[in-house]
Structure 1
């Protein structure tokens, strides 16, 4: 089965260079490449499904750079832009580009998008309020006043289906495309295990009690920087009580119908896109 979207990146993240300014400077030579990004961090994707790169010489003279990694001993960077951090807008053009990317390309773009957005959100020290500056090849920011070091954060999210009598519980939000149903999801809270978060979220959103939570797969999600933790849980019953603040609807779908929808046949729901781990989760459950 295919790996979850936004995984399988081919760049060597080269952590050794993050701690060695001289080696990093040496790697930032004429061969170094710069990721081409448009407004909103939108990627440029060629007909071959590969990301667009240009020479590091095309970076603005005062640009702050993030080392994405090495490929064939050539350094690959992204430039920290003046964009402000905020709720990411996924334009139709971006969604189309995600569907065109060759294997591993979305992982590289997703890492760049997440860390650049983090820089936009963390220009000031959370401890004293002083403006911060990038260090460690762009994988951190440091306060010149109190010396506090800040690093990109990743927010864990559980995404899961409950199963009961050969059926999967799927839900939909009102803002989604017509007919789209997907796995339920929610952020882990402090002091909570993955298993506890799965049970709480399914109970809160659909009123279904579950047990026997099992892990399936994980995926980085760059909107802006989550780690999606996919699980399946066994439902104790199939009675649904919706939280209308979270879901517009929830349904139980038999395994055969999930298989049919994933195969492109019409059914009771429209499947999540292949780059979403909900698609991976349903595929593996159906199999």
Structure 2
């Protein structure tokens, strides 16, 4: 988030001279690419509360892990805001004259948190944020589902491209938070450093509900849309054994004669896969 906030700060404080909206979108995309890559082989790079939440609802993340990850994500959002504020402190003072503003020509609060467009209604904001995060969840499902055979090294850049796309296509209405930690933690930070209660004041102080709860609803909806309408219709992958080379390869179920015979007792499945046997047909589906 720190790198993304810096992209936004440079654009706002330079009055778009050192970065227009497209530059901000690309910057956030690159920030997500490197953030995902850094933790990809450790935790899977849980950077987003809505993603952790829908993985929990899918049964792929224990509840305690969801809590731990969410706390870490909020801490990261707060710390990232603090680092950007520290780095651009002099420029912020020069821009707003030392008077922290949420509205108006010298407003800098939007460097950190998202705010709705003047023409956006509460209902419109609810729809916007929910749909945006649902699309994010569908793309994540598409990229990360091993049945789609997208190589792991290619996934972080694709997630970055996803953020770039969503920022360009969905950012106009309300800044497409898509992540409670990306919005609420920075909003609390701005409240603490002098922006005041106005950071919560949109829609009669109901605005913070939108970027906190709508991403959870949208992520849940999008994840289940992918699982039911897309993922369930892709041929399951079957680990295929080569005893001579002591290797396991993944093959589509339709490509082998007897998909229930997966591996010998001498071999175990790769540690980064969970094999779930279907009660209906005993054909396993492999999930990350």
TM-score by length of 1: 0.27
Higher relative contact order (CA 8 A, sep 6+): 2
TM-score by length of 2: 0.27
Determine which structure has the larger strand proportion and give its number.
1
Determine which structure has the larger helix proportion and give its number.
2
